[in-house]
A and B are shown apart, each in its own frame.
Chain A
Amino acid sequence: MWGEIFTGTGMWNAVVFAIVLVVVAIIVRLIRSTGIEGAAKREHGGEPYYFGNEVPESAHIRASNLYWGFLKTMESYYKPLVGEHTGNVNDFMAWAVLTMAGILLLMFFM
């Protein structure tokens, strides 16, 4: 078929992958149809179970608190990194000059 790519060590064909996805979806549909009819349309059918109460507003976690565990462990990596992004124009120029000097040194001594 047309859309194949050959990397140096492998092969990838997207149309075959899509056909496999469609076949798996058909099998899943067949398995689901052996269940109870109309199970999702009963009262409180597809909603989250909140011990019988109303779902409150604060059940939705805000964006800043989402990856709390990951950010807390990597605190010693993040503190200097966010500290360097000060927004001060003088620091921008300093980084530019330092990087140009670094590239020049690498070109000459490598």
Chain B
Amino acid sequence: MSFMDQLPILIIAVPLLGAFLTPILGMMSKKLPRYTSTLFLAVSALLVALMAFEVYGGDGTPIIYTLGSSDPTPFRIVLEIDAFSVFMAIIMAGVSLAVSIYSWSFTDKYTGQDKFYTLILLVVVGSYGMTLTGDLFNLFVFFEISSIALSGLVAFRMNRGESFEAAFKYMMYSTLSGLFLLFAIALLYSQYGVLNIALLAQGITADGFTPLNKVVLALLIGDFAMKAGAVPLHMPSPYAYSESPGGISTLFMAASQAGLYGLFRASFTLFGGAISSMGYAAVGWIVIILGVLSMFIGVTMALVQKDVKRLMAYHCISQTGYILLGVGVGIAVLGDATAMDRYGKAAIEGGLFHTINNALYKGLLFLTAGAMFYATGTRNLNEMRGLGHNMKITTMFFLIGAIAISGIPPSNGFSSKLLIYESVFQFNPALSAIAMFVSVLTLASFVKVFYSAFLGPKMKDKEIKEVPSSMIFGMAILVAAILAFSLFPGLVLDTLIKPAVEALLRAWPIPGGV
């Protein structure tokens, strides 16, 4: 019963304790909740780093932790952590720390700040719970926690009606997708009698693809795609991204990546054995079609927007399409061992590397859009010009983010896109051509934002100053990570991503060895 044994549950419990304590501390003083909630998030990020050392240093078997006792039978709630789960938890830890430091001065003039930080801590709890659990119903409960807390954050500004409309639409979609997930869990429980992911995988591999299992997989793909925001299930996302206050869009995007985690866990761990033994390529093609639609429609809708945050939200949908394309190619060749060695593994590596790159540069771009809103008071691109004269640091950070997202060498966006292009080309050349065209259009729309907001003569009727230093510090964390990932992509690939891909392709051991 040492400290390292209790590590998995502490990662979920520390932000939960913070979420309960923050309203009490908010009654004592107005500024105290900021610093204590950042402290709780920093402690949990440290615990995630310790867990990463333990998992990556091991030999690849997942770490199993049973809640409530030390006897791992699969009828209790178990947390099963392998390299892929830790990878997603690292993304969430870094992004949440940057957002909470950024929000120190962004919410300076708002009332109800303690509730703001409570909701941020609850979203972080929901995401950690979704990525670290080994039990399907636990996944559902944390899914609902994170969607309720996120819609509360979207509706945070109560003086405008539009925020409530965006929050209502997002909450409707999340509830519907949660109900589909519950239906799929009920179907699986009725066939196999257990809720543990490892035991279910064993049962499904033995049964193969019966029609009921096909319905279950279709429901699971559908509802995780609704959470991640793939086209044509993307409808409420742009409104929710644009109406949320400053750094919350970044947190929103990191929580949507948890939906991608669920999709890959369902395809590789639950149904991987069935797909590879039957050589069934339909599942991979469904994910590829979702990815190509997201990429193309996302970026063409982004070219006509006037609202800077909605433009960036459509780009987020388009980058999610890249991830779905890369990993979809990997799923489509699961049964074929030679193709997997040649390009399948490289495609999955490209998709996962793109996930962490997307969180970094998209997060930075949303934070700079929040800085533009803080300085000028408007989000409409038609009314802004000449911000580059006074806001020099924000301009430089925006340039770094725009170069990274378009995939221009030597940024980290180029490394992950290179992996995706070269491996998808060997699968089907037309998909690779569409991906490159989408990359060109991405650059076009960011040139549009840079020209109309930062270049040109100064604005005459407003006084533009540089944003406060806590916001710059929050953005600088992400910029430092982007620069580090750009110069040493091989190091990141070998330490973080290759173990995650190996862990995805391996079957999970049953807790208790039954």
Contact = CB atoms under 8 A, between A and B. Distances in A.
Interface of A: 2-5, 7-10, 12-15, 17-18, 21, 55, 57, 59-64, 66-67, 70-71, 74, 77-78, 81-82, 85, 87, 89, 91-93, 95-96, 98-100, 103-104, 106-108, 110
B486 interface: yes
A61 B386 CA distance: 12
Given A3-B491, A62-B382, A63-B448, 18 more contacts: A2-B491, A7-B423, A18-B410, A60-B455, A63-B453, A64-B306, A78-B304, A82-B304, A89-B172, A92-B172, A92-B236, A96-B226, A99-B222, A99-B233, A100-B180, A103-B286, A110-B282, A110-B285
The dominant DSSP class at the B interface is helix
B422 A5 contact: no
B426 A95 contact: no
A74 B300 CA distance: 10
B382 A63 contact: yes
Interface stretch (B85-93, B153-161, B212-220, B358-366): B212-220
A61 B455 CA distance: 10
A21 B486 CA distance: 14
Contact of A100 (B168, B218, B382, B493): B218
B61 interface: no
Contacts of B490: 2-5, 13
Contacts of A61: 451-452
Given A7-B423, A67-B448, A92-B173, A106 B226 contact: no
B235 A85 contact: yes
B19 interface: no
B306 A92 contact: no
Contacts of B460: 57
B303 interface: yes
Interface of B: 168-169, 172-173, 176, 180, 211, 214-215, 217-219, 221-222, 226, 232-233, 235-236, 239, 281-283, 285-286, 289, 297, 300-301, 303-304, 306, 342-343, 346, 381-382, 385-386, 409-410, 414-415, 418-419, 422-423, 426, 444, 448-449, 451-453, 455-457, 460, 486-491, 493
A93 to B, nearest CB: 7
Contacts of B456: 59-60
Nearest to B238: A85
B457 A14 contact: no
B487 A18 contact: yes
Contacts of A107: 214-215, 217-218, 282-283, 286
5 contacts: A15-B487, A67-B444, A92-B172, A104-B218, A107-B286
B235 A95 contact: yes
